[in-house]
């Protein structure tokens, strides 16, 4: 259907490039021969293969992250035509219909740029550690199955468990700010990660991590440390930072009910706070 | 002695399971992965995970039946003890994953729900929506994150494995790896290195596999002397959505719900599909297989679709191979109710509504049954000896292989929903084996005596890296060579294999290998240089590609996913009872002859230039004697009858049916003597 | 303020944000009462004046009520709100969704209300009732509202079109800010959690803000009508009559601060003056 639209020979892709952390960013435009059914990944693959700008000058291939290309791994998030999304499911025909002139690619703005479209999202994984997003089992020996689970609870947990930590929710969140720690020359990975974690203390957890607390608090075994997770949610940078702009749920590629998780976390933390005041 | 460590390479299901089990055993673990582990390819598995369960058990199912289905599905090419061990473990593995919080679908009463999958009669497959792999992966990712928080596992995400470090005694003492961001090359001392690096789909250019599935870790290990087994066995899924960047899976359920496969009778008919009248449509599966129609077994569907496009030139599009998978005759409501999820995927990636326009699909490379050769230690009962250091160890002591990157579990063809099981099983099972292995060493790779070895290996890798960056400009383009390699491999070594094509492909791939050595880089920087990393991966695709082609060329038979029409065994056509009997006897003779010759593992070893040499070893079929796969074959009933009579007369009633203990197969199967 | 003792605010961030939500609701409830009272001006200056007398009839406890339920909550709400707003990274252009616009408008209205409420309290109330201060404030346009000449002084104070416009904006901002705040509070406290419940609550809240906005606007319109021409004269006469009656009946203490300046020479002066002299020292700190 889209292929029968007015024939175009080629189209332009404008990419915000940056050669490394702390470097100046610059725009580069690439001209891509048009084919039907392209997605942004295949455009970037073509750019990597030719490594020439629209003006014909040689340049380095654009760096970007991807893996599964079917929207389950969460790697290829970037800002496309101003809106954050997965580049594997961003179809060129649709993007050109949206803004006919050209396609614009930028790295996510809430994470430190590593290079070009590659950003460092390790903060999101550290946030999962902050809220203890796991089921605290005793061991991995055979102890029979888990508890019986009502269908309704499974249907509530399953969508939350589809979160691939892609970062769309926090990129679109007007309350989530960027935390950038520059690596020192010859600094070890361990010490760099340590300093990153320190800088992130008290900074907003973001929708993804809040939703994960609900996922695990809803599990019979996971709920055994529910209070510890709620403590993490009510610590500095916790759920109170949420401003209810609800962009998270609007941009989530997996359509996870993030705002429901946030509201439920709000309810749980309210009771948790009251309990802590009166139950001691 | 310094603290002993284990390096796990790969953060998919197998690697994570191994890391968490080792951490539980109080072994210090370094977990290395190309991508943040949560983004591993295991997330792509959709269907489910197999095990015997309480319900099927009461319907007559048992671990043995699961074992039998797996071996039969794999056309008996697997050594049976590891498979038996895996199917024995399966119920416990599902229980564990359930305890870890995987949101398995539930019955009304709250039990885990199961569905039926291909290759079995029982509802054995537990599933979590259409993203079982993702859910299992996340459960293990969470446990490893917990281990990391407790300081038991160090994670190194964004590191590419460059090769094992092997000392003068031939033992693996660690690995070199390169950081994808800083380009730093480091030597990781390790008393055992576990490769859990998945399949090698990228050798075929585009496949259903993720971009990390280059097979480079396996290739880099075989170039250090490790062996690669059964490389020619590659599973091709019949229905995938062709894309410029990737071939995305379209579930079999689309055909299960009434989807019809067809092409226009006139080649590359330019009319819109709905304008092509019924009589000008070629429903080739329905016409050729009136009984099964569109639901013929996967391998047959794959071959027919491939054949109609490639050999008959009836592809829907001129420049792209594809056929129609048509659901438009089914009401929108019914489609949304039954297939909503998968139709949404098609719509999302193709921008076309499959409820209005037929889907365009084509078979795609999906899974590598073959992989790193790995050892095992058999018990008298026919299972694996727990804690035995030999289990899953490659022919290099201290180097282990688990998950899709080992070859042990799926033989010539993998059953649906067995891959997740084999990954988690091998990860968990290998933990104690490695522990006992390193405990027996009495020294640590972190000891000062290995410093020189580690440093030398790191310098060597740094040198290689530098040389690659300093290539003169104007050479070959690695991306274009990769495209050519993919086209060549897809043409010659996927669905239908012919010796002339394989020979030609082998020449062409060797030529590409030479050209790839002259690649020049468009990026020579020292920061997040994806260009140089891609080129390294490309270079390492060739040894495996050659092993795959050579293996396929040599194996003159049909077995599982390996199909050579020139060596096919047609069924019994005759109607005359006497003649039928005679033909069936002949068929069975041929089958026995074929097994004598080819029921063997292909083992490839490589020279310093990555050139493979093949050898063969016997398969341990001591638990279930091989029998013909007769699904859908003409005259299958009479062949089965003859085969049964033979097997009864062959088995001596004074001896047990099973071959005794560690039989001849056991001693002859190892291409190198086990040294540990 | 956070700079003096950062650890306290960091440690109690959650509690502070919850109190911010609570104080918003408390102050918002007051604003509703306030605007409803104002709107009674539509029923005539007498009705309005009666309501004002009722409030002022609370007597000595009124300042306590004012501080606990109005001044402290709004001060807390305002300063925490400013701190919250300082951290926002608006992105409405790229994410032009309804909730995102409400998020941004909530903060813009909050900022406007911060300045408007300061201005409004100065304009009508004068902030403080020290004599020396009133002498400064009144020429600058402060302390225009005299409770015992409620309708007429309010009406006069709103005659300037710009002032009336600022008030109209303020009323609309308050109406939106309060009801949208109730909606977000419902999520914050976990009252409505699922999308359908949230969208229903949103409809109710938006309707509430429209109603409150209309009430507020009509009060401004009503006051402006009272504040000019014959209506003003009539209102003055009514207010004076009511004042005289109440003072004579001993229902109110005569208080020049609560009356129009130019009325000092009028009919209320004779009875009122001595009392004013004796009370001034204790009353002036209000």
**Do A257 and A236 share a structural domain?**
yes
Distance CA A250, CA A252 (A): 6
Distance CA B267, CA A204 (A): 59
**Do B391 and B353 share a structural domain?**
no
Task: Report residues of chain B scoring pLDDT below 50.
Answer: 655-676
Length of chain B: 676
**Do A180 and A110 share a structural domain?**
no
Cβ of A236 within 8 Å of Cβ of C195? The answer is no
Q: Which of B124, B171, B255, B298 is catalytic?
A: B298
Backbone φ/ψ region at A74: left (φ over 0), alpha (ψ -120 to 50), beta: left
| β-bridge mates for residue B193, sequence order | B7, B399
**Do A193 and A155 share a structural domain?**
yes
Distance, in angstroms, between C188 CA and closest chain A CA? 5
Indicate which CATH number applies to the domain containing B605: 1.20.58.100
* pLDDT tens, residue by residue, A89-102: 999 999 999 888 79
Indicate which CATH number applies to the domain containing B254: 3.90.700.10
Distance CA C230, CA B383 (A): 106
Inspect the structure and tell me whether chains C and A have 3 or more CB pairs less than 8 Å apart. yes
Indicate which CATH number applies to the domain containing A156: 1.10.1060.10
Give the pair of three-digit tokens for residue B655. Answer: 């001896």
**Do A216 and A104 share a structural domain?**
no
Determine, yes or no, domain membership for B648.
no
Strand intervals (E) in chain C: none
State which residues form the domain around A142.
121-278
Strands B153-157 and B28-33: parallel
Inspect the structure and tell me whether chains A and B have 3 or more CB pairs less than 8 Å apart. yes
ipTM (interface predicted TM): 0.96
Indicate which CATH number applies to the domain containing A72: 3.10.20.30
Last residue of a domain, one of A115, A144, A159: A115
Last residue of a domain, one of B564, B593, B617: B617
Among B578, B579, B559, CA closest to B567: B559
Q: What residues of chain A lie within 8 A of the CB of B24, using their CB?
A: 139-140
pLDDT at B632: 67
> CA dist B57 to B99, B467, C226, Å?
21, 60, 88
**Do B383 and B315 share a structural domain?**
no
**Do A221 and A137 share a structural domain?**
yes
pLDDT at C261: 59
Distance CA B543, CA B508 (A): 13
**Do A160 and A144 share a structural domain?**
yes
pLDDT at B362: 94
Determine, yes or no, domain membership for B396.
yes
pLDDT at B331: 92
Instruction: Kindly state the percentage of chain C with pLDDT values over 90.
Output: 62
Q: Is A99 on the interface with C (CB under 8 A)?
A: no
Q: What residues of chain B lie within 8 A of the CB of A143, using their CB?
A: 95, 99
**Do A70 and A144 share a structural domain?**
no
Q: Give me the DSSP letters along B543-611.
A: HHHHHHHHHHHH--S-BTTB--GGG--------SHHHHHHHHHHHHHHHHHHHHHH-EEEEEEE-TT--
**Do B491 and B518 share a structural domain?**
yes
Cβ of B145 within 8 Å of Cβ of A133? The answer is yes
Residue A144 backbone phi and psi in degrees, to 5: 75, -175
**Do B343 and B252 share a structural domain?**
yes
Report the largest interatomic distance among the alpha carbons of chain C, rounded to a whole angstrom.
Answer: 68
Q: Which residues of C192-203 are buried (b: 16+ CB within 10 A; e: fewer)?
A: bbeeeebeebbe
**Do B168 and B303 share a structural domain?**
no
Round to the nearest angstrom and report the end-to-end CA distance of chain A.
Answer: 66
Residue B182 CA, chain-centre distance (Å), reads 32
**Do B22 and B73 share a structural domain?**
yes
3-state secondary structure of B508: helix
Distance CA B325, CA B330 (A): 12
Q: What residues of chain A lie within 8 A of the CB of C183, using their CB?
A: 244
| β-bridge mates for residue B194, sequence order | B8, B400
Domains annotated on chain C, with CATH: 6-283 (1.20.1300.10)
Q: What residues of chain B lie within 8 A of the CB of A39, using their CB?
A: 243-245, 349
* pLDDT tens, residue by residue, C44-79: 889 999 999 888 888 788 888 888 888 899 999 999
**Do A127 and A102 share a structural domain?**
no
For chain B, the domain total comes to 3
Q: Is B94 on the interface with A (CB under 8 A)?
A: yes
**Do A134 and A110 share a structural domain?**
no
3-state secondary structure of B125: strand
Residue A107 backbone phi and psi in degrees, to 5: -70, 160
Q: Is A83 on the interface with C (CB under 8 A)?
A: yes
* pLDDT tens, residue by residue, B544-586: 999 999 999 999 999 999 999 999 998 898 889 999 999 999 9
Residue B590 backbone phi and psi in degrees, to 5: -60, -40
Among B524, B539, B408, CA closest to B467: B524
**Do B160 and B103 share a structural domain?**
yes
Give the pair of three-digit tokens for residue C177. Answer: 């800010």
For chain A, the domain total comes to 2
Distance CA B147, CA B340 (A): 38
**Do A92 and A153 share a structural domain?**
no
Q: What residues of chain C lie within 8 A of the CB of A239, using their CB?
A: 14
Q: Mean pLDDT in chain C?
A: 86
Distance CA B137, CA B131 (A): 10
Residue window 205-244, chain A: list those with CB within 8 Å of chain C: 234-244
pLDDT at B479: 96
Q: Is B473 on the interface with A (CB under 8 A)?
A: no
**Do B434 and B357 share a structural domain?**
no
Q: What residues of chain C lie within 8 A of the CB of A238, using their CB?
A: 13-14
pLDDT at B531: 96
**Do B152 and B9 share a structural domain?**
yes
- Model confidence at C43: pLDDT above 50: yes
Cβ of A267 within 8 Å of Cβ of C190? The answer is yes
Cβ of A247 within 8 Å of Cβ of C195? The answer is no
- Model confidence at A121: pLDDT above 90: yes
**Do B254 and B189 share a structural domain?**
no
pLDDT at B651: 67
Neighbouring chains of A at 3+ CB pairs under 8 Å are: B, C
**Do B98 and B203 share a structural domain?**
yes
State which residues form the domain around B156.
5-235+367-457
**Do A139 and A181 share a structural domain?**
yes
* pLDDT tens, residue by residue, A49-91: 999 999 999 999 999 999 999 999 999 999 999 999 999 999 9
Distance CA B446, CA B185 (A): 17
**Do B205 and B266 share a structural domain?**
no
Last residue of a domain, one of B417, B438, B457: B457
* Known catalytic residue at B298: yes
pLDDT at A145: 93
Top-confidence residue, C286 or A37: A37
Distance, in angstroms, between B288 CA and closest chain A CA? 32
**Do A151 and A88 share a structural domain?**
no
Smallest Cβ–Cβ distance between B106 and the set A38, A74, A154 belongs to: A154
Last residue of a domain, one of A115, A138, A165: A115
Chain C: residues touching A (Cβ < 8 Å): 10-11, 13-18, 84, 87-91, 93-95, 97, 99-100, 102-104, 183-184, 186-195, 198
Q: Is A250 on the interface with C (CB under 8 A)?
A: yes
């Amino acid at each position: 259907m889209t292929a029968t639209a007015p024939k175009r020979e080629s189209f332009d892709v404008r990419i915000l490039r940056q050669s490394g952390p702390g470097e100046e960013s610059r725009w580069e435009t690439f001209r891509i021969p048009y084919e039907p059914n392209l997605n942004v990944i295949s455009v970037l693959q073509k750019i990597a293969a030719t490594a020439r700008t629209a003006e014909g000058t040689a340049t380095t291939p654009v760096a970007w992250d991807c893996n599964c290309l079917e929207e389950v791994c969460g790697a290829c998030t970037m800002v496309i035509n101003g809106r954050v999304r997965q580049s594997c499911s961003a179809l060129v025909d649709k993007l050109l219909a949206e803004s006919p002139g050209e396609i614009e690619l930028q790295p996510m703005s809430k994470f430190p740029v590593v290079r070009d479209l590659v950003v460092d999202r390790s903060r999101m994984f550290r946030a999962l550690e902050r809220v203890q997003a796991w089921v605290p089992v005793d061991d991995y020996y055979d102890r029979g199955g888990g508890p019986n689970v009502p269908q309704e609870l499974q249907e509530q947990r399953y969508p939350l468990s589809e979160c691939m930590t892609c970062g769309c929710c926090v990129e679109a969140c007007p309350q989530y700010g960027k935390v950038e720690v520059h690596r020192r020359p010859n600094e070890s990975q361990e010490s760099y990660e340590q300093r990153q974690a320190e800088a992130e203390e008290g900074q907003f957890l973001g929708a993804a991590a809040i939703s994960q607390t609900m996922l695990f608090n809803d599990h019979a075994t996971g709920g055994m440390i529910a209070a510890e997770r709620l403590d993490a949610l009510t610590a500095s940078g916790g759920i109170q930072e949420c401003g209810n702009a609800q962009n998270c749920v609007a941009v989530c590629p997996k359509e996870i009910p993030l705002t429901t998780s946030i509201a439920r976390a709000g309810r749980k933390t309210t009771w948790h706070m009251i309990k802590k005041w009166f139950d001691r | 002695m310094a603290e002993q460590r284990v390096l796990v390479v790969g953060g998919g299901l197998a690697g994570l399971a191994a890391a968490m089990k080792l951490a539980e055993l109080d072994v210090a673990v370094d977990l290395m992965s190309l991508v943040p582990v949560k983004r591993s390819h295991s997330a792509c598995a959709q269907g489910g995970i197999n095990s015997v369960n309480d319900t099927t058990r009461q319907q007559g199912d048992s671990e043995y039946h699961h074992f039998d289905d797996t071996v039969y599905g794999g056309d008996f090419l697997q050594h049976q003890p590891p498979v038996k061990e895996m199917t024995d473990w399966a119920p416990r593995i599902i229980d564990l994953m359930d305890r870890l919080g995987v949101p398995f679908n539930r019955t009304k009463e709250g039990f885990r729900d199961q569905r039926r999958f291909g290759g079995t009669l029982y509802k054995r497959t537990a599933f979590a929506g259409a993203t079982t792999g993702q859910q299992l992966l996340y459960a293990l990712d969470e446990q490893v994150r917990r281990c990391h928080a407790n300081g038991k596992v160090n994670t190194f995400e964004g590191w590419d494995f460059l090769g094992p470090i092997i000392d003068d005694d031939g033992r693996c003492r660690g690995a070199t790896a390169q950081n994808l961001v800083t380009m730093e090359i480091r030597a990781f001392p390790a008393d055992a290195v576990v490769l859990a690096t998945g399949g090698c789909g990228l050798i075929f250019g585009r496949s259903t596999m993720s971009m990390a599935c280059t097979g480079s870790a396996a290739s880099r290990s075989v170039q250090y002397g490790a062996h690669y087994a059964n490389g020619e066995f590659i599973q091709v899924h019949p229905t995938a959505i062709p894309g410029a960047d990737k071939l995305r899976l379209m579930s079999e359920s689309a055909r299960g719900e009434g989807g019809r496969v067809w092409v226009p009778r006139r080649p590359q008919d330019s009319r819109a599909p709905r304008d092509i009248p019924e009589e000008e449509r070629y429903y080739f599966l329905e016409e050729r297989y009136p009984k099964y129609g569109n639901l013929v077994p996967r391998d047959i569907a794959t071959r027919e679709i491939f054949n109609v496009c490639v050999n008959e030139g009836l592809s829907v599009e001129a420049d792209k191979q594809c056929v129609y998978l048509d659901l438009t005759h089914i009401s929108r409501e019914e489609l949304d109710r039954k297939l909503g999820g998968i139709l949404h995927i098609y719509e999302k990636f193709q921008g076309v509504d499959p409820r209005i326009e037929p889907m365009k699909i084509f078979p795609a490379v999906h899974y590598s049954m073959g992989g790193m050769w790995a050892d095992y230690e058999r018990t008298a009962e026919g299972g694996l000896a727990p804690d035995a250091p030999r289990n899953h160890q490659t022919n290099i002591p201290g180097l282990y292989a688990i998950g899709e990157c080992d070859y042990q579990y799926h033989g010539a063809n993998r059953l649906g929903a067995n891959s997740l099981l084999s990954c988690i099983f091998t990860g968990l099972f290998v933990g104690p084996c490695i522990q006992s292995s390193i405990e027996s060493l009495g020294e640590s790779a972190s000891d000062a005596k290995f410093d020189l070895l580690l440093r030398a290996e790191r310098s060597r890798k740094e040198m290689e890296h530098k040389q690659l960056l300093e290539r003169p400009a104007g050479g070959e383009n690695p991306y274009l060579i990769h495209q050519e390699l993919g086209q060549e491999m897809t043409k010659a070594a996927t669905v239908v294999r012919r010796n002339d094509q394989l020979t030609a492909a082998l020449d062409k791939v060797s030529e590409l290998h030479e050209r790839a050595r002259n690649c020049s880089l468009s990026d020579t920087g020292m920061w997040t240089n994806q260009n140089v990393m891609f080129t390294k991966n490309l270079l390492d695709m060739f040894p495996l590609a050659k092993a795959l082609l050579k293996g396929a060329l040599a194996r003159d038979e049909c077995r599982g996913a390996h199909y050579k029409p020139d060596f096919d065994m047609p069924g019994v056509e005759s109607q005359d009872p006497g003649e039928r009997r005679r033909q069936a006897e002949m068929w069975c003779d041929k089958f026995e002859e074929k097994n004598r010759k080819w029921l063997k593992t292909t083992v490839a070893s490589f020279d310093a230039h990555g050139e493979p040499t093949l050898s063969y070893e016997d398969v341990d079929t001591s638990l279930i004697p091989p029998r013909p796969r007769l699904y859908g074959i003409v005259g299958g009933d009479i062949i089965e009858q003859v085969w049964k009579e033979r097997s009864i007369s062959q088995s001596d009633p004074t001896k047990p049916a099973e071959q005794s203990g560690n039989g001849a197969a056991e001693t002859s199967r190892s291409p190198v003597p086990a040294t540990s | 303020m956070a700079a003096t003792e950062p650890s306290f605010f960091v440690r109690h961030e959650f509690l502070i944000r919850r109190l911010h939500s609570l104080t918003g609701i408390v102050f918002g409830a007051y604003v509703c009462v306030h605007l409803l009272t104002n709107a009674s001006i539509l029923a005539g200056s007498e009705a309005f004046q009666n309501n004002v007398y009722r409030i002022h009839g609370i007597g000595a406890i009124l300042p306590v009520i004012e501080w606990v339920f109005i001044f402290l909550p709004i001060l807390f709400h305002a300063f925490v709100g400013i701190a919250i707003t300082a951290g926002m990274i608006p992105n409405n252009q790229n994410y032009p969704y309804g909730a995102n616009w409400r998020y941004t408008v909530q903060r813009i209205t909050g900022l406007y209300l911060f300045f408007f409420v300061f201005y409004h309290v100065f304009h009508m109330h004068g902030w403080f009732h020290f004599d020396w201060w009133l002498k400064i404030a009144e020429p600058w346009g402060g302390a225009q509202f005299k409770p015992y000449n409620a309708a007429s002084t309010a009406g006069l104070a709103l005659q300037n079109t710009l002032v009336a416009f600022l008030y109209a904006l303020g009323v609309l901002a308050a109406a939106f800010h309060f009801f949208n705040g109730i909606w977000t509070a419902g999520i914050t406290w976990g009252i409505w959690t699922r999308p359908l419940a949230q969208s229903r609550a949103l409809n109710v809240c938006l309707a509430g803000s429209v109603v409150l906005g209309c009430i507020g606007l009509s009060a401004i319109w009503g006051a402006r009508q009272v504040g000019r021409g014959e209506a003003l004269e009539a209102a003055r006469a009514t207010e004076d009559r009511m004042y005289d009656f109440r003072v004579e009946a001993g229902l109110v203490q005569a208080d020049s601060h609560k009356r129009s300046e130019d009325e000092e020479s009028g009919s209320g002066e004779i009875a009122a003056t001595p009392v004013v002299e004796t009370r001034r020292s204790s009353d002036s700190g209000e």
